[in-house]
């Protein structure tokens, strides 16, 4: 075999990445999941029955809960754990990771309190190393079943982005490159907030016109916030921005859209989170963006209303009225 790639995180996206990477016969692939029982079941059944039922994990993918064994000999690492757990996980992995091994992040969030993007958390805990953010419309449920998808690999180091492009590219998975890692990570996080709002539209039965308007104005907010943080505006018109936004707002697989829909139908956030199989990153990201936009004085009306629904008990109907009754303005 050629290079070894280790995927750290046995959720839906981590599993899908391992399946995707294993299509290249020149790559040895290991998948690490924290829970030993989960690892044993996955290794025996060759599927992630809870999150990707019916999708076979190739026999060539080594599945383990032993992080040292998973990382041993790896040339490049793929981080696929939720933002809220990334710092703790990286701290555990740090003694095993040498500085010369780059990392690919498929994580879509902004850390609470620090407001750091995943690549910044990686650099803070592990020291400076090459980091690539992989973003775009790429639900694990679809790419694991070889349905066509296109994404973007972003890094300040274009040669590293091209290396990751080659690693992930298949006849069903097209990868573009981009040097705007700030924009790709910001877009990946921000679209989840808009997806919660889109789900609220669905839950309230507001129809296509309302949802299309919300998505359009949501993209404006994403671009406004991202550029204030140093991103390039053009990134938000690309796969990581508009592409991922559309998918997340309309797909039945979207966890953030599901949160919003259930809120719109009258459930509380606590009820929703209690029985969700996977983490909805947008809930945490909303808190970060609400606080950071206030500090930086960035106008984020949709994000602010989502925050009030999630954390201040505002009704989805009242939040909608607040948005619709804002003073008229130019587009």
Q: Provide the annotated active-site residues.
A: 191
Q: How far apart are CA 195 and CA 198, in angstroms?
A: 5
Strand intervals (E) in 113-172: 131-135, 149-154
Pairing outcome for strands 76-79 and 62-64 = unpaired
The distance from CA 197 to its chain's CA centroid, rounded to whole angstroms, is: 17
Q: What CA–CA distance (Å, rounded) separates 136 from 41?
A: 30
Cα 137 to Cα 139: distance, rounded to the nearest angstrom:
6
Distance (Å, rounded) from C-alpha 80 to C-alpha 86? 9
Tokens 């498929």 found at = 106
Q: For 152, which DSSP code?
A: E
> How would DSSP label each residue in 70-92?
HHTT-SEEEE-S-HHHHHHHHHH
C-alpha torsion 41→45→48→53, nearest 10: -140
Which two structure tokens, joined as six digits, stand for 63? 């599945």
CB 305 within 8 A of CB 314: yes
Q: What is the pairing mode between strands 103-105 and 76-79?
A: parallel
Residues 6+ apart with CB under 8 A from 245: 187, 191, 194, 195, 215, 218, 219, 222
């Amino acid at each position: 075999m050629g290079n070894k790639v280790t995927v750290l995180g046995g959720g839906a996206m981590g599993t899908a990445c391992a399946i995707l990477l294993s299509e290249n016969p020149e790559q040895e692939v290991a998948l690490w999941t924290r829970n030993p029982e989960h690892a044993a079941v996955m290794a025996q059944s060759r599927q992630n029955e809870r999150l990707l039922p019916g999708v076979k994990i190739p026999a060539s993918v080594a599945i383990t809960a032993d992080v040292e064994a998973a990382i041993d000999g790896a040339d490049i690492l793929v981080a696929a754990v939720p933002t809220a757990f990334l710092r703790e996980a990286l701290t555990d992995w740090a003694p095993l990771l040498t500085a010369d091994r780059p990392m690919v992040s498929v994580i879509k969030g902004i850390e609470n309190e620090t407001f750091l993007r995943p690549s910044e958390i990686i650099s803070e805990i592990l020291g400076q190393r090459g980091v690539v953010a992989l973003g775009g419309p790429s639900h694990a449920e679809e790419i694991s079943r070889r349905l066509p998808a296109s994404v973007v690999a972003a890094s300040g180091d274009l040669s590293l982005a091209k290396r990751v492009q080659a690693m992930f590219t298949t006849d069903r998975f097209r990868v573009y490159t981009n040097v705007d890692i700030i924009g790709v990570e910001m877009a990946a996080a921000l679209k989840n907030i808009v997806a919660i709002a889109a789900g609220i539209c669905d839950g309230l039965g507001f129809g296509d016109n309302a949802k299309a308007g919300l998505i359009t104005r949501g993209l404006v907010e994403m671009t406004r916030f991202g550029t204030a943080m140093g991103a390039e505006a053009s990134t938000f018109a690309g796969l990581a921005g508009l592409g991922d936004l559309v998918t997340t707002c309309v797909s039945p697989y979207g966890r953030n859209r599901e949160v919003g829909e259930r809120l719109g139908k009258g459930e509380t956030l606590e009820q929703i989170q209690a029985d969700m199989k996977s983490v909805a990153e947008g809930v945490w990201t909303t808190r970060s963006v609400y606080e950071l936009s206030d500090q930086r004085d960035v106008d984020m009306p949709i994000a602010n209303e989502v925050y009030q629904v999630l954390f201040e008990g505002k009704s989805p109907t009242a939040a909608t009225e607040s948005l619709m009754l804002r003073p008229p303005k130019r587009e």
